[in-house]
């Protein structure tokens, strides 16, 4: 567990240093919240899933998120690209991340509350001087207490939305 934590910290630090801020980008207007998935990376992590062992390549996922930040023209493009890259990243069992996990990408400068269980990966990434968090997890809930839209959050997995404006998202394990 300590080795995994150190590797995650190193991967996140490297990703933050590697991502350069894109200047001159005009944020897209706030749009309805939609579901999409990001990419992330860190050192391979072994996970037991339904009586089988699966390896989650955290470094590979982190590299995908860094790529999303480097290639995006604006914030909503970054959020969408990060979500898609993480969601469709292949695990050691040949399945995509979202076949076994839920994914959340969120603007950490916005207020939120959460209670996520079975977090297999978390990393911070910067885009246009804004820190985004990317979580890969089994279940729980996430409450966006700030602005919605693609420029601030995106998620994919098995979930229901409730609350004012659908800002409370409850995820179930797959």
pLDDT digits (tens, 9 = 90+) for 76-117: 888 998 899 899 888 888 889 999 999 999 999 999 999 999
Domain count, the chain: 1
Residue 66 domain-assigned (yes or no):
yes
Residue range of the domain that includes 147: 2-21+33-171
pLDDT of 71: 57
Residue 135 domain-assigned (yes or no):
yes
Q: Which residues contact 69 (CB under 8 A, 6 or more apart)?
A: 19, 22, 78, 82, 125, 126, 127
Residue 63 domain-assigned (yes or no):
yes
pLDDT of 37: 35
pLDDT of 31: 29
Residue 27 domain-assigned (yes or no):
no
With 0.75 as the threshold, say if the pTM is over it. no
| Cβ 3 vs Cβ 10: under 8 Å | no
User: What burial letters (b/e) apply to 125-146, b meaning 16+ CB within 10 Å?
Assistant: bbbbebebbbbbbbbbbbebee
Over the chain, what is the mean pLDDT?
A: 71
Q: Is 11 a residue whose pLDDT tops 60? A: no
Residue 26 domain-assigned (yes or no):
no
Residue 12 domain-assigned (yes or no):
yes
pLDDT of 81: 87
Q: What is the percent of the chain where pLDDT is above 90?
A: 43
pLDDT of 126: 85
Between residues 69 and 132, the one the model is more confident about: 132
| Cβ 132 vs Cβ 105: under 8 Å | yes
Residue 7 domain-assigned (yes or no):
yes
Alpha carbon distance 101, 38 (integer Å): 12
**Which of 129, 139, 141, 123 is CA-nearest to residue 174?**
139
Alpha carbon distance 140, 159 (integer Å): 9
Q: Is 171 helix (H, G, I), strand (E, B) or coil?
A: strand
Q: Backbone dihedral region of 58: left (phi > 0), alpha (psi from -120 to 50 degrees) or beta?
A: alpha
């Amino acid at each position: 567990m300590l080795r995994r934590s150190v590797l995650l910290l190193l991967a996140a630090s490297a990703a933050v240093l590697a991502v350069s801020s894109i200047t001159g980008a005009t944020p897209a207007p706030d749009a309805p919240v939609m579901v999409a998935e990001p990419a992330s990376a860190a050192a391979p992590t072994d996970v037991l899933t339904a009586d089988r062992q699966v390896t989650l390549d955290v470094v590979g996922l982190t590299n995908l998120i860094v790529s999303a930040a480097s290639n995006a023209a604006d914030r909503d493009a970054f959020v969408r690209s990060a979500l898609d890259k993480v969601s469709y990243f292949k695990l050691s069992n040949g399945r995509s991340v979202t076949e076994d996990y839920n994914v959340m990408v969120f603007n950490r400068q916005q207020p939120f509350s959460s209670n996520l269980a079975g977090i297999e990966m978390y990393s911070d990434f910067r885009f246009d001087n804004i820190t985004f968090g990317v979580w890969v997890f089994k279940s729980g809930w996430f409450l966006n207490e700030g602005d919605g839209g693609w420029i601030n959050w995106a998620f994919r997995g098995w979930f229901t939305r409730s609350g004012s404006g659908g800002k409370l998202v409850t995820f179930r394990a797959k």
